[in-house]
Amino acid sequence: MGIPNLPGQGLLQLGELALAFLLSGLVGLEREIRHKSAGLRTYTLVGVASALFMLISKYGFNNVLVPHQIVLDPSRVVAQVVSGLGFIGGGVIFMRRNVVRGLTTAASVWLTAALGMACGAGLVTLALATTVGHFIIMFVFPRLLHLLPHEKATSATLEITYDDGRGILRLLLVECTRLRFAISHVRVNRNGRHDLPDDAPAAAELHTVRLTLEVRGKRPVSHLIAALGSIPGVEEVATVEDDGLD
């Protein structure tokens, strides 16, 4: 049984598949170099498959079309490809510590599918221009962002007094991380008389801890002070002059 001689299987269509392979491979190579979750193979597969879908949509039904009786809409396959790519994009997006990651990778997968469909449709100029735009976005835009004014990070030294033996230190450090404050120095003093009455019993001194933190972040320090002060067991949170820690 021979291969049916159907239109849409010539050098033009093979060239469109090859172009989709090349352009999507270039996008995937850039992602692979940056060690992203979706790399060279994923992007190339998406681009070539999308081009093939387009070619099937354009030429795959010519043998059943009857003039003025059967009319097919090639755009229906494009709509299905756009919808089907959602599960791939969703698979590379994840959240860690209230930070969403993978959005750019998902958008790149989406763009690669469009490249493949454009190549399959014969829109070579648009596919080439979009590929150039992709590399401008990935390599030029980050340099432009560095030229924009950014909010300067502020640093402060905090002294925190809290009850010992209740796991409060861990809560304090977790809260600093949640508010995106970096901790550069930590000093714990369990033997001092920090704001204790003169007639307080000696046992009370052993259950009070004075913690000194040097923090740095882009949010106002007042937000951090308010958050730390609301933790049960924290007696006082205050700023001190930043003269360095031992």
Query: Any idea which residue has 């995106």 for tokens?
Result: 180
**Overall pTM surpassing 0.75 (yes/no):** no
Is the pLDDT confidence value at 63 over 70? no
Residue 100's DSSP bridge partners are: 95
Q: Report how far residue 116's alpha carbon sits from residue 131's, in angstroms, rounded to the nearest whole number.
A: 11
Across the chain, what does the average pLDDT equal?
A: 76
Q: Which two tokens stand for residue 126?
A: 């648009």
Mean of the pLDDT values across residues 63-88?
Answer: 69
How would residue 3 be classed by pLDDT, with cut points 50, 70 and 90? very low
Q: Report how far residue 85's alpha carbon sits from residue 53's, in angstroms, rounded to the nearest whole number.
A: 13
Report pLDDT for 156. 87
Is the pLDDT confidence value at 42 over 60? yes
Mean of the pLDDT values across residues 10-34?
Answer: 85
Report pLDDT for 110. 80
Report pLDDT for 194. 45
Using one digit for the tens of pLDDT, what is the confidence trace for 133-173? 888 878 887 787 677 666 677 788 999 998 887 888 888 88
More confident residue, 122 or 195: 122
More confident residue, 84 or 71: 84
How would residue 191 be classed by pLDDT, with cut points 50, 70 and 90? low
Residue 185's DSSP bridge partners are: 214
- DSSP assignment of 170-191 equals HHHHHHHHHTT-EEEEEEEESS
Report pLDDT for 193. 47
Is the pLDDT confidence value at 65 over 70? no
Report pLDDT for 199. 53
Q: How many CB atoms lie within 10 A of CB 240?
A: 11
Report pLDDT for 33. 82
Q: What share of the chain is helix, strand, coil (3-state, %, to 5)?
A: 50, 15, 30
Q: Where are the domains of the chain?
A: 11-147, 154-240
Is the pLDDT confidence value at 77 over 80? no
Report pLDDT for 5. 54
C-alpha atoms less than 13 angstroms from C-alpha of 114 in its C-beta half-sphere: 15
The kind and range of the H/E element at 23 are helix 11-33
Nearest CA among 188, 212, 189, 190 for reference residue 202: 190
Report pLDDT for 147. 77
Is the pLDDT confidence value at 27 over 80? yes
Using one digit for the tens of pLDDT, what is the confidence trace for 197-238? 455 554 444 478 888 888 888 788 888 888 888 888 888 888
Report pLDDT for 241. 67
Best mean pLDDT range from 7-11, 67-71, 149-153, 216-220:
216-220
Question: Which range, of 34-38, 97-101, 115-119, 141-145, averages the lowest pLDDT?
Answer: 97-101
Which CATH number describes the domain made up of 154-240? Answer: 3.30.70.260
